[in-house]
Each structure stands twice: as structure tokens, then as C-alpha cells.
Chain A
Amino acid sequence: MKEHYRKLFLEMAIIVIAAVTIGVLWNFRLLCDAATGKLSDTKQQPVISATDGKSMTPAPLVLVRELFEKKEALFVDARESSVYSDGHIKGAISIPLGEFETRLKDLRAKTTLDSPLVLYCSGYGCHDSKSLGEKLMADGYRTILIYEGGYPEWKDAGLPVEGAKP
């Protein structure tokens, strides 16, 4: 019986180790970028180039803040207009998901398809920024970062906001 369980455990370990190895090899580049901080290091700009029009990149606060301070990206608020009016990241433009078609012209006027865009909404549970990112990618925008902490994290960090009631 003991031998049986030893063998079973060994089989489980082999399956898991094999799967993990394949996963690591398959995503080797992504993991290297994440490990070396390239995904969060704007000095080397790999996040900007890594998006490559194929996928959107989740961006942590530290990166988003640096892009904001260096004015290297345009911030896009994907929340409803009324929520935007109650407070948003300073300088962000409003493109609520439901008004995508009408607001796209404004965005086109301010940007090129290569302009880095940081999309955000109401934090980790909110998917509007990702959905908006998919639409923008379909429209040809190539450099899309999803700031998943969103407005709540930004505000909590004491970073510049506009329109917020005291």
C-alpha cells in the first residue's frame, strides 16, 4: 500500500513538473521580461514595444506613474461619463465603453496609432478598460497598457486627479 502511494505521488509529481517545464519554456520570453523588470521599466521601453498590437499589457502603478510623470502616454478613462466627471486621473480623456464609436474621433484627433495609451477603469474587478483596449486594438492602436489598479488605486496613492470633490 505504501509503495502504491509512493508510485502515485511520483506520477503526480512527474505530470506537474512536465507541465510546468513546458509552461516555462513556452513563455520564456515573457518570464524573462517580467523577471528582469522589463515589463515595468520604462527606461528600456519594452512594455511599449512588447505590446506589438497582439495583446494588451497589464501595467502596475509604478510603471503607470512613470509614464504619467514623463508624459509618455495618454490616459483613457473607460468609466461612465458621470463617474469620470466625479474625478479622474489628471489629463485623462473619457471614452466610456458604451460611447466608443462617438468618442473615437476625439481620440484619433489627439493621437496616432502608435501613441501609447494607458486605459483604466474602477480597479481590479473592472473589465471595461480591457474591453475598450480590445476595441482600440481592433481599430489599429498598437500600444495599449491596462492599468488594473485603476482610479481607486491612483487616488489612494495620492497621485494627481482632476474633478474630484474634496
Chain B
Amino acid sequence: MKPKTRQYILAALRIGLGSVFLYAGVLKISDPTAFAGSVAAYKILPYFMNYLVASTIPWVEAICGLLLIIGYRVKATSGIVAAMNMLFIVLLASTIIRGLDIDCGCFRQGGDKTSAWTAILRDILFLSVALTLFSARGERRFSTR
């Protein structure tokens, strides 16, 4: 593949992944209480921690999304996104193992239910994009750094 083509593909992946995370973050920031309910549905954390996670994780998502879009500190940001996706996959797998039939709470809260399997497949896709960006070397297109 020509280096230039490769750069354009990486830029598209970066902006695409960034947009998904920014969107997911902003939706949850707008309703932290509802997201706390979704977190509570995983039945992992104690009461207060559900609210703490619901108050902070969406901001990590949104800020990482924004940084990916503008292309600032892409390696660090894609590393965080990859780590978050790995965590999400483990949590979703735990719901399947424990037989919890819950909505993943990934995007809009309280909408149509997304099954854990669908969410896992989606997260694997995001994880592979994040890892691609994390391991990419060389000059970047449409990027601040």
C-alpha cells in the first residue's frame, strides 16, 4: 500500500473511532443518573461507585473521542480507548456468564436493548481500530500532532 493511502486510511479510522467515542460520551454526560442505572444493572459495583463511574467514564470517552478527531496525542488516546474497550468486553462477557439479560448501556440510555453479544462484537471492532492506531508509526494526515 502506498504510504499516502495508508495515511488517509489511518486518518479515516482515527476520526471514525473518535466520533463514535465522542458521541457515546456526550449522550451519557447528558444523563448521568440514567447511566448510573445502566452501570448498576451490571451488578458489579457498590451503590456509590455506580454514580462515580457514571459521572466520569463518559468524560473519558468524550475527551478521548475529541482528541482522536483532532489528532492530538493519538498514541496515548488510542491506548486509553483500547484499554477501555478491553474492559467493556470483559464486563459484557461477565453478564453473559452470569446470565444477566441487560442492555449494555453503551450509547443512548433506556432505548432499545442491545444484546451483550452484539456489544462485544462492536467493541472488538473498536478495539482493533484502536490497536491499529496505537501501533501505527510515521506521519499522520489531518492531525495536530
- Interface positions of A (Cβ within 8 A of B): 8, 11-12, 15-16, 18-20, 22-24, 26-27, 30-31, 34-35, 39-40, 55-58, 60, 124-125, 127, 130-131, 134, 146, 148
Instruction: Assess A23 versus B56: contact at CB under 8 Å? Given A125-B100, A148-B40.
Output: yes
B87 → chain A closest CB, angstroms = 12
**Chain B residue at minimum C-beta to C-beta distance from A127:** B110
22 contacts between A and B (CB under 8 A): A11-B76, A12-B76, A12-B77, A15-B64, A15-B73, A16-B80, A20-B56, A22-B59, A23-B55, A24-B56, A26-B55, A27-B51, A27-B55, A31-B55, A55-B31, A56-B34, A58-B34, A58-B40, A124-B41, A125-B100, A127-B113, A130-B34
Bound state CA distance, A131 and B47, in angstroms?
23
Q: Are B80 and A34 in contact (CB under 8 A)?
A: no
* Known A11-B73, A12-B80; 18 more pairs at CB < 8 Å: A11-B75, A11-B76, A12-B79, A15-B64, A15-B67, A15-B77, A15-B80, A19-B64, A20-B56, A20-B59, A31-B48, A40-B47, A55-B31, A56-B34, A127-B111, A127-B112, A127-B113, A146-B37
A residues in contact with B51, CB < 8 Å: 27, 30-31, 34, 39
Bound state CA distance, A125 and B38, in angstroms?
9
Which chain B residues numbered 1 to 48 have a C-beta less than 8 Å away from chain A?
Answer: 29, 31-34, 36-37, 40-41, 43, 47-48
